[in-house]
Amino acid sequence: MKALGRMALLGAGLALAVPAWGQVVPGGLAPWDLNHDGRVSWEEAWEHIQRRFVEADANRSGGLSLEEWLAAQGPGRPPRPDRPQPDPQRQRDRRTAMFRAIDSNRDNQVTLMEIRPVAESWFRAFDANGDGAISAEELPRPRTAAPR
């Protein structure tokens, strides 16, 4: 899978409890790097994910409804002049599909217990050198537009 494809999945999937993964590349590692060492350990990532989850859980039910999930999603990638504008319905459909995929018990709620294995898997995918932490060098670089 291409690096940017993984980033898109990461952004879509973790964007709620995990909304910040979608901003990892544009926003850098700073929001995730709690000890400011230039690397994000799994423990730091999980703490960040848990905080985002609590923020997204508007009714404090311990689970996110589809509406809470969608409300917690960021705006996605910023528009670029060399790309067509994002289709809001397509974004909603993709985010809904990710919600459905993570909701493993099909109760129309996504809990931290359902998010954790997905988050761990994505964390391992970004930890290219397998050292248990993600550094800026391991993040995918945005592609530049091909010359016309």
Q: Structural domain boundaries of the chain?
A: 3-78+85-138
The model's pTM is: 0.74
Which token pair is 83? 């790309």
- Find the distance separating the first CA and the last CA of the chain, reported in whole Å: 26
Q: What would the pLDDT profile of 11-29 be if each residue is shown by its tens digit? A: 444 444 444 444 444 456 8
Residues of the chain where predicted confidence (pLDDT) is lower than 50 = 1-26
Q: Thinking of the domain 3-78+85-138, which architecture would CATH place it in? A: Orthogonal Bundle (1.10)
Please state, in angstroms and rounded to a whole number, the distance separating the CA atoms of residues 38 and 148: 37
Contact 128, 30 (CB under 8 A): no
Please give the pLDDT value at position 82: 81
